[in-house]
Structure 1
Amino acid sequence: QIRTDTLFNSKQVISILVLSKTFSNKFHIELSYNNPDLMTTSAFGENNNAVAALNGSYFDMDSIAGVCYLEVNDSVINRTRTPKLKWAKPDSVINGAVIITKENNILVQQVKPEQFYETSKEEKVVLVSGPLLLLNTQKTSLPDIKFVTNRHPRTFLCTTENDILFVAVDGRRSKAEGMNLKEAQNFLLAIGCVAAINLDGGGSTTLWIKGEGVINNPSDLTGERPVSNAFLIVK
């Protein structure tokens, strides 16, 4: 965990879990969902006997459905909601995807049409989110909207040459201001990320580790927020 008051001239608390790709024979990443109900990230972890859990993509807090495309084992669980509807995000935000291949490799990539994923048999899991922040160690173009330029709690998944990182940035607190996404790009590059994607942040941002519990400080006054899905590290 990083605690600093100098990064971006702000107070930051950043929790990072590193999974070395050399341990891929012992651990792998899964995506757990509980359609149509919500569940806390820690419950996703505990219920699946996971080693760690990170909250996933965006969802509708009214109808509790995921609002981004989710496919698991060639079955479509959710489709990306049109931007005009409540709780949906604009296309300029939902432009990335996390792929878990049938060989349990993790890919962070530009989103492809839903029809591509539906017909492709290469993916075990497809979860759409965004914005995509880094691709091939290059910063992506970000829209000039408050969602991007304001500081918020943030959740990131990134890949380096040798590792997969779960990152939770606390925010909306006096001792943790959160990041805007341009700051996030700089930070993720500095820690060696090659590809990185923004997941659901704000009050959803949660990183849980077995035996330690939730290691970041979720911003909701009620504590940990139930979410639509979560990434798990399992043995």
Structure 2
Amino acid sequence: MRLLVRAGFFTLLCLAACVQQPRPEDLAMQWTPLEDLNAMLPDGVRVYAGRNDRLPLRAWYVRIREADPAITTRVVVSNDADRRETVESFARNLGACVVVNGGYFVMDQNPARHAGLLLIDSILIAPATRTVVRDTIRYEAARAALGLAGDSVTFAWVTTRHDTVYAWAEPPAHRPGFPAPPLRYDRAHPWPVRDALSAGPALIVNGQVRVTTNEEVFFGSAIPDVHPRTAVGRTAEGDLLILVVDGRQLESRGVNLEELARLMHSLGAVDAINLDGGGSVSLVVRGRLINRPVGGDAPREVMSALATFCD
């Protein structure tokens, strides 16, 4: 995430976003279905816009019925020479009805490099993050990921070993300055998914808000702070939830990870993870960019995305 803002504007946003954490009731959103877009979508895909004028916040979410045989969601990666393109370009080139930005990537390399697991059609495009160094201390990583197989949506903490993706029921018990013991692979199992995408941290686990910032070694970074956000989750019925929250704007300050988790929980997510945020946050429905990305005069190009196809 890049914080390329003028000092005066940044000060205004900090006054709004940093002085006090809102109470749960202060995060309440007024959600309205976007009927013009919903009219162009199958019944299994519904789009909503939300606002909270008190904080303020502007957000949008999509609920996708993955069990509908006419609907398929895939992880996709850019085929451009620099391995980057806008979310609008993904939607246009793929003919997808819904596309949202995906995982972290290294922006200052050409071609771009995915920073975390990227699995498409059971082919490993990029391995999971192996280790993270904080203050000269090395931590073995197992970060949260989304997996897709058939019409099922699943989540796990993941590692890769010998080109095999392993899922873990629990992340390492890292704390700042205190790495967990080495991972024991007899406690993991190969993850039987077709597509997978990691970012992190986890936001909701088994129906409970659980933000695993320390366990996934996001402490000591800007990731936990208030930013524009993208999150993805699963409902108890197996539907896919996609949420984007605008930020760094007078109309929408953005949210931190705890707030993002609470928003996803309020939408019915029983599992959810954080995806890439900041200037990468883009949601395109039927070819229309419906949020307002920040960070430049044009939407940021990203390396990976989630694309939903509607027959």
TM-score range, shorter chain: 0.7 to 0.9
Equivalent position to 2:192, from 105, 110, 122: 122
Equivalent position to 2:127, from 71, 79, 86: 79
Q: Give the aligned length.
A: 224
Answer whether contact 1:99 1:108 (CA < 8 A) is retained.
Answer: yes
Match in the other structure for 1:52: 98
Secondary structure of 1:217's counterpart equals coil
Answer whether contact 1:71 1:126 (CA < 8 A) is retained.
Answer: yes
Match in the other structure for 2:266: 190
Give me the whole-angstrom Cα distance separating, in 2, the residues matched to 1:78 and 1:96: 15
- Give the fraction of aligned pairs with identical amino acids, expressed as a percent: 26
Q: Establish whether residue 228 from structure 1 lines up as the match of residue 272 from structure 2.
A: no
Equivalent position to 2:250, from 157, 174, 190: 174
CA spacing shift, 1:232–1:136, aligned 2, 3 Å: same
Answer whether contact 2:128 2:159 (CA < 8 A) is retained.
Answer: no
CA spacing shift, 1:234–1:186, aligned 2, 3 Å: same
| Superposed displacement of residue 176, structure 1 | 0.6
| Superposed displacement of residue 79, structure 1 | 2.1
Supply the AA of the counterpart residue of 1:43: S
Give the TM-score, by structure 1 length.
0.86
CA spacing shift, 1:113–1:201, aligned 2, 3 Å: same
Structure 1: give runs of 5+ residues left out of the alignment.
none
* Structure with greater Cα Rg: 2
Structure 2: give runs of 5+ residues left out of the alignment.
1-48, 167-188
Equivalent position to 1:13, from 58, 70, 80: 58
Give me the whole-angstrom Cα distance separating, in 1, the residues matched to 2:159 and 2:133: 20
Supply the AA of the counterpart residue of 1:137: G
Q: Establish whether residue 135 from structure 1 lines up as the match of residue 205 from structure 2.
A: yes
Give me the whole-angstrom Cα distance separating, in 2, the residues matched to 1:164 and 1:91: 30
Give me the whole-angstrom Cα distance separating, in 1, the residues matched to 2:199 and 2:63: 21
Superposed CA offset, 1:58-90 (max 9, x none):
0000111111111222321112354359xxxx8
User: What's the Cα RMSD here?
Assistant: 2.3
Give the TM-score, by structure 2 length.
0.66
Answer whether contact 1:134 1:195 (CA < 8 A) is retained.
Answer: yes
Match in the other structure for 2:114: 66
Moved more, 159-168 or 139-148: 139-148
Q: Which has the higher contact order (CA 8 A, sep 6+)?
A: 1
Give me the whole-angstrom Cα distance separating, in 1, the residues matched to 2:223 and 2:140: 13
Superposed CA offset, 1:96-130 (max 9, x none):
011011x2321122224445427947221121210
